[in-house]
Amino acid sequence: MKKIRCALIGSGNIGTDLIYKIQRSPVLEPVWMVGIDPSSEGLARAREMGLKTTAEGVDGLLPHVLEDNIQIAFDATSAYVHAENSRKLNALGVMMIDLTPAAIGPLCVPPVNLRQHAEKVEMNVNMISCAGQATIPIVNAVSRIQGVGYAEIVASLSSKSVGPGTRANLDEFTYTTSSAIEQVGGARKGKALAIINPAEPPMIMRNTISCLTDDEPDHGRITESILQMIGEVQKYVPGYRLVNGPIYDGNKVQVFMEVAGLGDYLPRYAGNLDIMTAAATCTAEMFAEEILKGSIRLEPVV
């Protein structure tokens, strides 16, 4: 079966984990990996796995886009260079999946709004943040039943799974995730809290989601909606697990989740990184299926 050919920009942990996930996909094929350091381990590993590589950044990829028929690119670099990467690749008709906090395109949480983005043939979609991917489905599961005035999420991440980029820009993480809780989760006000825990052995990613409903929450319908949503996320992140709740206290609904990764390249405790790569892969697959069916066509953005 024909597959859509992909490029991975950024040769760090996320980019490397993406190779594994994309290689398993029935509709995607990883072809290029782009780095900036010729001696990087990530590029060496990509070559061993059969990918073409360049250490010249996105400019090193551009001359090969058309001849290698690259149609989807994943950007796992940084918010600072993403806009430029996206502009250059969009101009060649390559659709961008943004795993940085740049968020120049619409925010995407697969079970909530991916179909919408694919139908509109968005040429750049943003994957928000790990905490966003792990918690917004639950906020949406509540807000699709009853109005949510306020939603708050607490993400606990193992210290080993949080890279220097996130560490140096924690405010960005807070702002991006809070605003996505509103825009995609459907809460009128959102707040995100992050905790980095150094315990050994590393703790598996935990997330607590709390929603305040406008009216007395309908326990039965909200619980059913949440369980259904968990099932949707489990389709691409099998380690997405309800630990406790939903528990109700007046207008407050609380859900306690755990996210274990698949352990492809990243260790299992790093569910926070895995849910990003899994959601990004799932997003690319939806676009790829539509392209292969001929129902959408990617056009150069000029």
Partner 1 sequence: MDLKGRKITLHDMCLRDGMHAKREQISVDQMVKVATALDAAGVPYIQVTHGAGLGGNSLQHGFAPHSNEEYISAVASKMTQAKVSVLLIPGLGTMKELQSAYDCGARSVHVATHCTEADTAPQHIAFARKLGMDTTGFLMMAHLNDPDGIARQGKLMESYGAHTVYVTDSAGYMLPDDVKARIGALRAVLKPETEIGFHGHHNLGMGIANSIAAIEAGATRIDGSAAGLGAGAGNTPLEVFAAVCERMGIETGVDLFKLMDVAEEIIVPMMEHVVRVDRESLTLGFAGVYSTFLLHSKRAADRFGVPARDILVELGRKKMIGGQEDMIMDTAMTMARERGLLKAVAA
Catalytic residues: 130
Could you say whether residue 116 binds partner 1 (CB under 8 A)? no
Q: How many CB atoms lie within 10 A of CB 215?
A: 8
Chain positions 188 to 217 lying near partner 1, rule: CB under 8 A, are 191, 193-199, 203, 206, 208, 210, 212
Measured from the CB atom, is 67 or 200 closer to partner 1?
A: 200
DSSP 48-101: HTT-EEESS-HHHHGGGTTTTTEEEEEE-S-HHHHHHHHHHHHTTT-EEEE-ST
What is the number of H-type helices and E-type strands within the chain?
A: 10, 11
- Give phi and psi for 255, each to the nearest 5: -130, 135
Taking the complex as a whole, how short is the minimal distance between the CB of residue 203 and partner 1, in angstroms?
A: 8
Please give the structure tokens belonging to residue 199. 């315990």
- Of 36, 121, 242, 296, the residue at the interface with partner 1 (CB under 8 A) is 242
Could you say whether residue 176 binds partner 1 (CB under 8 A)? no
Measured from the CB atom, is 113 or 251 closer to partner 1?
A: 251
DSSP for residue 202: P
Please give the structure tokens belonging to residue 31. 């072809």
Q: How many CB atoms lie within 10 A of CB 79?
A: 17
Binding mask 222-241 for partner 1 (x = CB under 8 A): -x---x--x-----------
Taking the complex as a whole, how short is the minimal distance between the CB of residue 105 and partner 1, in angstroms?
A: 24
Binding mask 132-171 for partner 1 (x = CB under 8 A): ------------------x-x-x-x--x----x--xxxxx
Question: Which of 178, 113, 119 lies closest to 151 in space, CA to CA?
Answer: 178
What's the CA gap between 236 and 187, in Å, rounded?
A: 24
- Of 20, 81, 104, 175, the residue at the interface with partner 1 (CB under 8 A) is 175
Scanning 51-59, 106-114, 251-259, 260-268 for contacts with partner 1 by CB under 8 A, the matching segment is: 251-259
Residues 13 and 300 sit within 8 Å (Cβ to Cβ):
no
Interface residue list for partner 1 (CB under 8 A): 150, 152, 154, 156, 159, 164, 167-171, 173-175, 191, 193-199, 203, 206, 208, 210, 212, 223, 227, 230, 242-247, 252, 254, 256
